[in-house]
Amino acid sequence: MSESRLADNLLLFCRTLRQAGLPVGPGQVIEATRAVLETGIDRRDDFRVALRSVLVTDIGQQRLFDQAFHIYFRNPRLLERMMGLLLPTLEQEAPPPEPDKAIRRLMEAMADDSKAESDEVIVEIEREGTFSRREVLQHKDFEQMSLEEQAEAREFLRHGVEFLRELPTRRFRPSSAGRRYDLRRSMQLMARSNGQLIQLARKKPRTRPPTVVLIADISGSMTRYSRMFLHFAHALGLRSHAVHAFVFGTRLTNITRWLADHDVDRAMHKVSAEVADWDGGTRIADCLERFNVDWARRVLTGRSVVVLLTDGLERDSVSDLAFQARRLQRSTSELVWLNPMLRYDRFEPKAQGIRAMLPCVDHFLPAHNVASLLDLASLLESRYSRTARFAA
């Protein structure tokens, strides 16, 4: 097998792993190609171990990798059908030709040398019902989504988050269109023109991005929702320079610098690799205390908003939780609580942790589907738009 065909096959295999949920980036594809060229493809086990050593970064991903490897290298036609299911639904006015040619070229490179004939790949797109599918997907619970639907949901979040308007501050900057006169600069202009007042200088308020602090619960009961929420945080961070993100289970971790990566897959891989308490227990009171003591004065401003994602099922002292929630609420202008439990129509705040935190929040909203997260983005945008107009 030539190096070009080997690279094409590895590229398609890595794309399958990525669609299945493994954080495989372009750098790992290159490293996998180098590893296979070093070990060779004469022995199947050596070939599999070489790929797994590069593409698998967590022990929990080994089972998925082994299944994909077995399917790919035993029955390529089955993989072709799986790729058709994993690829996201095309929703443009006309299907772009380049992706289709790339897929056909990869499929031909994967074909066996003994087969002379190749089937024509026909792509049929049924546009009827596309809008209704989007509506259904936006209101579908994250727990009920398949891998393909999760990928589409992440795309909705990436493109559905709007830019947050910058807020005016108390400081001013020179501007010919300003509504206020700048007496100091006007006097300076008079001094330069021998005491003659030629034109009055004007100024307007400086603006800065609003501060949004996102705190997500990553315990076992919140994993599916918190991962989608982190995609929302990444999309929001790309549209604002003042977004701080934290996750907590049994400890609080600041993930702002990792989410700053423009590549969402690479950013999520960094977060998964650095955060050690995924899918574990939760200690809400202790983690809120750590935020109040260590981070509140660093990241919060007078007009910041804190968005807390958790189900409120606290196992520690409820009295400490109520105190820390009140302390957090006093440190920010608004505290928004997102709780996936609100997806149930007959939800009642019976848990002690929920009853302790509920009086301290300004907004109590659901966070179980794409629509709820887009509603949160609209809430932030409308709030900052009103603040900007009022201050101006």
101-108: long-range contacts (C-beta < 8 A, 24 or more apart)? 105/8, 106/8, 106/9, 106/11, 106/12, 107/12, 107/80
pLDDT value for 82 = 45
Please list the helix, strand and coil fractions of the chain in percent, rounded to the nearest 5, in that order: 55, 10, 30
Under 8 Å between Cβ of 309 and 217: yes
Half-sphere exposure of 105 (CA within 13 A, CB side): 11
Measure the CA–CA gap between 121 and 133, rounded to whole angstroms. 25
CB 266 within 8 A of CB 225: no
How many whole angstroms separate alpha carbon 167 and alpha carbon 164? Answer: 9
Phi, then psi, of 172 in degrees rounded to 5: -120, 160
Do the beta carbons of residue 229 and residue 309 sit within 8 Å? yes
Q: Which domains does the chain have, with CATH numbers?
A: 3-110 (no CATH), 168-208 (no CATH), 212-391 (3.40.50.410)
Q: Which two tokens stand for residue 207?
A: 């603006």
**3-state DSSP assignment of residue 180:** strand
Dist CA 10 CA 48 (whole Å): 12
pLDDT at residue number 74: 63
d(CA 248, CA 281): 10
Q: What is the pLDDT of residue 165?
A: 62
What tens-digit pLDDT sequence spans the chain (392 residues)? 455 566 777 777 887 777 777 777 777 888 888 887 877 777 777 788 888 888 887 777 777 787 777 777 665 454 444 444 444 433 333 344 343 443 343 344 334 333 433 444 444 444 444 556 677 888 888 888 888 888 888 888 887 676 556 666 678 888 888 888 888 888 888 888 877 777 788 888 877 667 889 999 998 888 889 999 999 899 888 877 688 999 999 899 999 999 888 888 899 999 988 898 888 888 899 999 999 999 999 998 777 889 999 998 877 666 789 899 999 999 998 899 999 988 888 888 888 889 999 999 999 999 888 888 888 888 877 765 544 443 44
| Of residues 371, 277, 292, 388, the one with CA closest to residue 335 | 292
Give the span between the Cα atoms of 323 and 328, in whole angstroms: 9
- Starting at the edge strand that comes first in sequence, how are the strands of the sheet with 243-248 ordered? 252-254, 243-248, 212-217, 305-309, 334-338, 363-365
| The predicted structure's pLDDT at residue 99 | 39
> How many other CB atoms are found less than 10 A from the CB of residue 205?
19
pTM: 0.59
Given a contact cutoff of 8 angstroms between Cβ atoms, the answer to whether 71 and 110 are in contact is no
Cβ 87 vs Cβ 19: under 8 Å? yes
Q: 3-class DSSP state for residue 300?
A: coil
Q: How many CA atoms lie within 13 A of 362 on its CB side?
A: 16
* pLDDT at res. 75: 54
**pLDDT given for residue 163 in this prediction:** 56
